[in-house]
Amino acid sequence: MTYPSKLLKFAAFRWDGVPIRQYKTADAPYRGVTRQTLLGEGSGEEAFNFLTRYFEVEPGGYSTLERHRHPHAVVVIRGRGRVILGDATHDIAPFDCIYVAPGVAHQFRASGDEPLGFLCTVDRERDRPEVIE
Amino acid sequence: MTYPSKLLKFAAFRWDGVPIRQYKTADAPYRGVTRQTLLGEGSGEEAFNFLTRYFEVEPGGYSTLERHRHPHAVVVIRGRGRVILGDATHDIAPFDCIYVAPGVAHQFRASGDEPLGFLCTVDRERDRPEVIE
């Protein structure tokens, strides 16, 4: 069996045929975050054990403060922000890489006038986040 | 057991503490390619089932034409180039995403005056590439 390969052309932080989705369907505190799954969920992409997603946080927005057992591999590609990692907070900018280790509370916040955008790769099979109120 | 989280600051297509490595150690045809493993091989990063690498191809350079059973998730972040995917060739530019499906012959070539740089995520456990001469 062979699978199709695929090129997703980029323009203005959208990709060919990739829908912009709600960040979360569960009731959890966040503001101004969208999600696009770039690689791993398309037809014929069952071979991937991981998913490549793009998250965008609008100015003043933030993701849910949460933790889970699966790790995150994050690469910032747009804008500026701050990431909470456990007890620490760091400024982040394009192409900074962030390793979110298992069980560590984390949150991404946009700072400045441009959206904060980042790639976040995760295991396809993973535990559900625990929201920290 | 808890693991440390990590922020790798970016500057000029280098990351804090990440060594630039040889693209391949095996005898295979390529020109002007380097590799940096950004996430997944550091101390305490055993939780990752996948590795996030950055490859850079200098102007006029190219990666090995090869195929293997594990898929690639590629996101271009620098420069311009062309990718061979099976029988097709595509122009690529920053933030284009490429899904290299299992068994598909592929090669990345830099075009223009700037290096071509791309993120490439793979399973930690994966088969060895078959070089296509």
Condensed to tens digits (0 to 9), the pLDDT of residues B24-53 reads 877 789 999 999 999 999 888 888 999 999
Q: Which of A27, A84, A78 is nearest to A55 (CA)?
A: A78
Cβ pairs bridging A and B (under 8 Å): 154
State residue B44's pLDDT score: 81
Q: Which residues of B touch A4 (CB under 8 A)?
A: 101
Condensed to tens digits (0 to 9), the pLDDT of residues B55-74 reads 999 999 999 999 999 999 99
Q: Contact at 8 Å (CB) between B122 and B51?
A: yes
State residue A1's pLDDT score: 47
A94: number of Cβ within 10 Å: 15
CATH for the stretch A31-121: 2.60.120.10
Condensed to tens digits (0 to 9), the pLDDT of residues A14-67 reads 999 999 998 987 778 999 999 999 999 988 888 899 999 999 999 999 999 999
CB-based burial of residue A42 (10 Å sphere; 0-12 exposed, 13-18 middle, 19+ buried)? middle
Contact assignment for B73 to A49 by CB distance below 8 Å: no
State residue B47's pLDDT score: 87
State residue B5's pLDDT score: 86
Is any Cβ of chain B less than 8 angstroms from the Cβ of A128?
no
Is any Cβ of chain A less than 8 angstroms from the Cβ of B37?
no
The token pair that represents B102 in the structure block: 């299992």
Q: For residue B2, give every residue at least 6 positions away whose Cβ sits within 8 Å of its Cβ, in sequence order, or none.
A: A101, A102, A103, A104
Q: Give me the residue label for tokens 């078959």.
A: B130
Q: Give me the residue label for tokens 């099976």.
A: B86
CB-based burial of residue A11 (10 Å sphere; 0-12 exposed, 13-18 middle, 19+ buried)? exposed
State residue A40's pLDDT score: 94
This complex has an ipTM of 0.95
Interface test with B, best of A69, A75, A100, A118 (most B CBs within 10 A): A75
Q: What is the mean pLDDT of chain A?
A: 93
CATH for the stretch B24-125: 2.60.120.10
Q: Contact at 8 Å (CB) between B118 and B80?
A: no
Q: Contact at 8 Å (CB) between A36 and A20?
A: yes
Q: Which of A7, A85, A92 sits opposite B5 (nearest CB)?
A: A85
Interface test with B, best of A2, A68, A72, A99 (most B CBs within 10 A): A99
**pLDDT interval class at B2 (50, 70, 90):** low
State residue B1's pLDDT score: 47
- Structure pTM? 0.95
Separation in Å, CA of A49 to nearest CA in chain B:
7
Condensed to tens digits (0 to 9), the pLDDT of residues B81-91 reads 999 999 999 99
